Amino acid sequence: MTEISMAQALNAALRDAVKDDDRVLIFGEDVGPLGGVFRVTDGITADFGEERCFDTPLAESGIVGFAVGMAMGGFRPVVEMQFDAFAYPAFEQITSHVAKLRNRTRGALSLPMVIRIPYAGGIGGVEHHCDSSEAYYTHTPGLRVVTPGTPQDAYDLLRDSIDSPDPVIFLEPKCRYWAKETVSFTRDGAAMDRAVVRREGKDVTLIAYGPMVATALETAEAAKAEGWDVEVVDLRSLSPFDDETVTASVRRTGRAVVVHEAAGFGGYGAEVVARVTEQCFHQLHAPVLRVTGLDIPYPPPKLERHQLPDVDRILDTVARLQWNDEPAVAGA
Amino acid sequence: MSRETLAAALLPSPVPVRFLAEDGTRVDEHGGYTAPPPDRLVEAYRLMVLGRRFDVQATALTKQGRLAVYPSSAGQEACQVASALALTDADWLFPTYRDSVALVARGLEPGEILTLLRGDAHCGYDPTETRVAPQCTPLATQTLHAAGLAHAMRRRGEEAVAFALIGDGATSEGDFHEALNFAAVFKAPVVFFVQNNGFAISVPFEKQSAAPALAYKGVGYGVRSEQVDGNDAVAVLSVLDDAVAHARAGRGPVLVEAHTYRIDAHTNADDATRYRDPAEVEKWRAADPVRRLETYLTNENLLSGDDIERFRAEAETFAAGVRDTLNADVEPDPLSLFEHVYAVPTRQLAAQRELVAAELEAVEG
Ligand SMILES: Cc1ncc(C[n+]2csc(CCOP(=O)(O)OP(=O)(O)O)c2C)c(N)n1
């Protein structure tokens, strides 16, 4: 077995889905001969034809709205939004229609479709290429929102998402596209809806997802030097939320820190903190803290390192979890 | 006006307006337009030479890692320069990421133009001073802003025009259509200038639109429309001068489509050989706008060998200045991240500023 990158794992998932199910169609901007700006759809048009993977006019609302119609017509569209901030023209279609059609039609119509969005920062992209938009989508009932942190999960989650009868917002962490691992293409079907413990530890649980999984794992290694045994939970599915896995972990460790790249205020981490607090209150030795992006518009490339949570910022936060029965310091 | 006459008045010329053939000789495909005066054409030529040199320099700077990315407008110099020349200082320009050469022609500092692409700041110049909106990346969104600002200026009794640049691909976005409609309904003094350079990243025009020309898109909205050979500087300048005059006179918006070609890849990060034939590029090189104007002006004795030498020398000096500016390592201040997020600073950001300040101090020791 050879190691492949996350982009290649996604490509394999798309190919296998197209092969296995005639209803699966891939379309979007530059996904055809170019293979997408990140090459995730590389070679699919050449191998399966224009009928299965094709370029559309440049219009995100058009792409998603068209996909709604095609899904109503019996296909399973997998569409690509070129970058996170460029999905916003489609926001109306996603929130008002993709998310609600099943409910509005009392189950008569369903929308099995996947909206793939390269998302988050860390790649030195200029303005509008690095938004973390998960909270907009997770706040919308009717959508499933998933994000892989590893190539294996990229393969499994994308296949599961394409099979899902409900619409899925599939957030691809751009900075992990080139990360490699050995991937097996036999699906165990367990990725969807389930968080996973990526690393076991007994002192504190780091809850991360997508681009921050790798950073959380790095932090766990670095924490050993401080004598802290850190557990890392990778959420994978942001909506629905896997309370079971997360709660079990926090109950074991008694401490938790949520890490994400998106701005903290009104962000996804607040939801995680609330749920963990509600369900683990009596086991918690300290308040659940967050390490997030700053509450500023995503900065220009030269300054993005100050925006992104890094090992130091996470370790500093872990240190504030009352290790010596000292009173907890309120978060900055 | 009857509906029929009104519709006819909106229709573009059946073939792109053109004064110069590819070899620089005069042709008569210019309908009722008159060629701009010689001094204007010589100035356009000077700026095109400057713009081309700037473009080559910026592309080189990406290779040296000085710019994060650069979308070249090589081959589109006639459109770029005419966009600046058609406007007065009171008019507003709404450029996209690709339109750096138009900003050079408008007289902005290269260092300030390139801060966006260099990664220092989202916009390096003062839009209110330059009357140039920040270079827009989300496609077609600026066209609505241009329509709104044009309407605002009119409401305030100003005679100024808003001029929005947009690519062929971006005309598929809903915002473009909404902008045309708003501008028409409000009779806003705005010029929409589409540089149809044949591609939206990898997607060729035939796959973007089934319209015979994008210029026809204005008619349905009640917007006067025109198409022009985008590699013929005489024609582009003449048509844009006319469009701006029309808008300025309060006669409503105008849509102009220039037929041109993107000689380089979408950006330095793109591989154009994946989606187009190099022979096609070579064909378009023969239609080069700079050479075409140079030949014409030389043949008409409006431009001497000395003039050409002088302009080239000026462009070299300019490029050296661009290099020096970009080679100077100026690190943006991390604490500037917290400035200008709100007009009224928030306590929340003040606390986060302290966090970053403490981190910086810890690193610097
Ligand atoms: C709303 C939106 N969708 C997608 C993109 C990504 N993108 C950047 S440039 C581009 C192609 C634009 O083509 P065109 O309008 O023809 O202009 P050109 O770059 O050729 O000048 C795309 C798809 C974007 N910037 N904004």
A60 CB neighbours in chain B (<8 A) are: 173
Beta strands A53-55 and A196-199, pairing class: unpaired
Whether residues A301 and B169 touch (CB distance < 8 A) is answered with no
**SS3 sequence, B69-80?**
CCCCCCCCHHHH
Smallest Cβ–Cβ distance between A61 and the set B174, B270, B359 belongs to B174
**Within this chain, do residues B310 and B183 fall inside the same structural domain, yes or no?**
yes
Q: Is the pLDDT of residue A2 over 90?
A: no
**Within this chain, do residues B340 and B194 fall inside the same structural domain, yes or no?**
no
Mean pLDDT in residue range A78-82:
98
User: What CA–CA distance (Å, rounded) separates A121 from A293?
Assistant: 10
Smallest Cβ–Cβ distance between B203 and the set A55, A127, A332 belongs to A55
For B326, how many CA atoms within 13 A lie in the half-sphere containing its CB?
28
The set of protein residues with a Cβ atom below 6 angstroms from ligand 1 is A 29, 58, 60, 82, 86, 89; B 98, 137-139, 167-170, 197, 199-201, 262, 266
**Ligand 1 mean position, distance from CA B200 (Å):** 6
**Within this chain, do residues B194 and B319 fall inside the same structural domain, yes or no?**
yes
Q: Is the pLDDT of residue A188 over 80?
A: no
Whether residues B172 and A295 touch (CB distance < 8 A) is answered with no
Mean pLDDT in residue range B239-244:
98
Mean pLDDT in residue range B305-333:
96
Any CB–CB contact under 8 A between A301 and chain B? yes
A127 CB neighbours in chain B (<8 A) are: 116, 122, 137
Give how far A23 is from chain B: nearest CA, Å.
23
Query: Per 3-state DSSP, what percentage of chain A is helix, strand, and coil (rounded to 5)?
Result: 40, 20, 40
**Within this chain, do residues B279 and B358 fall inside the same structural domain, yes or no?**
no
Range of the domain at B301: 3-330
**Ligand 1 mean position, distance from CA B24 (Å):** 32
Mean pLDDT in residue range B163-174:
98
Tell me what pLDDT residue A324 has: 66
Please, what is the average pLDDT of chain A? 95
**Within this chain, do residues B126 and B202 fall inside the same structural domain, yes or no?**
yes
Query: pLDDT-based confidence at B5, cuts 50/70/90?
Result: confident
**Ligand 1 mean position, distance from CA B97 (Å):** 9
DSSP state of A117: E
Tell me what pLDDT residue B29 has: 80
Q: Is the pLDDT of residue A332 over 70?
A: no
Number of other CB atoms surrounding residue A226 within 10 Å: 13
Q: State which ligand 1 atom lies nearest to the alpha carbon of B137.
A: 25
Q: Give catalytic residue positions of A.
A: 129
Whether residues B138 and A296 touch (CB distance < 8 A) is answered with no
Mean pLDDT in residue range B149-175:
97
Mean pLDDT in residue range A165-175:
98
In which element (H, E) is residue B146 found? Answer: helix B141-155
Query: pLDDT-based confidence at B365, cuts 50/70/90?
Result: low
B331 CB neighbours in chain A (<8 A) are: 302
**Within this chain, do residues B219 and B360 fall inside the same structural domain, yes or no?**
no
Q: Phi and psi at residue A292, in whole multiples of 5°?
A: -135, 175
A34 CB neighbours in chain B (<8 A) are: 201-202, 274-275
Tell me what pLDDT residue A327 has: 43
User: What CA–CA distance (Å, rounded) separates B134 from B121?
Assistant: 11
Q: Is the pLDDT of residue B223 over 60?
A: yes
Examine residue B110 and say whether the peptide bond preceding it is cis (omega within 30 degrees of 0): no
Indicate the burial class of A62 (C-beta count within 10 angstroms; 0-12, 13-18, 19 or more): middle
**Within this chain, do residues B353 and B231 fall inside the same structural domain, yes or no?**
no
Tokens describing residue B348: 């929340």
User: What CA–CA distance (Å, rounded) separates B254 from B259?
Assistant: 16
C-alpha distances (whole Å) from B25 to each of A272, B232, B294, B340 are: 70, 11, 11, 53
pTM above 0.90? yes
For B364: left if phi > 0, alpha if psi spans -120 to 50, otherwise beta; the answer is: alpha
**Within this chain, do residues B310 and B253 fall inside the same structural domain, yes or no?**
yes
For B292: left if phi > 0, alpha if psi spans -120 to 50, otherwise beta; the answer is: alpha
Give how far A245 is from chain B: nearest CA, Å.
32
**Within this chain, do residues B132 and B166 fall inside the same structural domain, yes or no?**
yes
C-alpha distances (whole Å) from A170 to each of A13, A115, A159, A288 are: 13, 6, 11, 27
Q: State which ligand 1 atom lies nearest to the alpha carbon of A128.
A: 25
Query: pLDDT-based confidence at B89, cuts 50/70/90?
Result: very high
Closest A-chain CA to B171: A58
Smallest Cβ–Cβ distance between B275 and the set A34, A61, A312 belongs to A34
Query: pLDDT-based confidence at B330, cuts 50/70/90?
Result: confident
**Within this chain, do residues B91 and B108 fall inside the same structural domain, yes or no?**
yes
User: What CA–CA distance (Å, rounded) separates B139 from B142?
Assistant: 8
| DSSP symbols for B100-111 | HHHHHHTT--HH
Whether residues B274 and A35 touch (CB distance < 8 A) is answered with yes
C-alpha distances (whole Å) from A153 to each of A160, B222, B246 are: 10, 52, 58
Residue B156 sits in a domain whose CATH number is 3.40.50.970
Tell me what pLDDT residue A127 has: 92
Any CB–CB contact under 8 A between A32 and chain B? yes
**Ligand 1 mean position, distance from CA A264 (Å):** 30
Any CB–CB contact under 8 A between B121 and chain A? yes
Q: Is the pLDDT of residue B333 over 50?
A: yes
Q: Over pLDDT 70: what percentage of chain A?
A: 97
Tell me what pLDDT residue A187 has: 84
Q: Identify whether the C-beta of residue B167 lies closer than 8 Å to the C-beta of residue B179.
A: no
Q: Is the pLDDT of residue A331 over 50?
A: no
Q: What is the ipTM of this complex?
A: 0.92
Please, what is the average pLDDT of chain B? 96
**Within this chain, do residues B172 and B273 fall inside the same structural domain, yes or no?**
yes
Tell me what pLDDT residue A328 has: 44
Which of A56, A93, A126, A310 should we substitute to test contact with B (largest number of B Cβ atoms within 10 Å)?
A126
Question: Helix, strand or coil for residue A259?
Answer: strand
Tell me what pLDDT residue A330 has: 44
Whether residues A295 and B349 touch (CB distance < 8 A) is answered with yes
Query: pLDDT-based confidence at B13, cuts 50/70/90?
Result: very high
**Ligand 1 mean position, distance from CA B96 (Å):** 9
In this predicted model, what pLDDT tens digit does every residue of A40-73 receive, in sequence order? 999 999 999 999 999 999 999 999 999 999 999 9
Any CB–CB contact under 8 A between A294 and chain B? yes
Query: pLDDT-based confidence at B28, cuts 50/70/90?
Result: confident
Smallest Cβ–Cβ distance between A30 and the set B203, B331, B332 belongs to B203
Report the domain count for chain B.
2
For B181, how many CA atoms within 13 A lie in the half-sphere containing its CB?
6
Whether residues A62 and B172 touch (CB distance < 8 A) is answered with yes
**Within this chain, do residues B275 and B344 fall inside the same structural domain, yes or no?**
no
Query: pLDDT-based confidence at A189, cuts 50/70/90?
Result: confident
A28 CB neighbours in chain B (<8 A) are: none
Q: Give catalytic residue positions of B.
A: 262, 266, 275
Number of other CB atoms surrounding residue A184 within 10 Å: 10
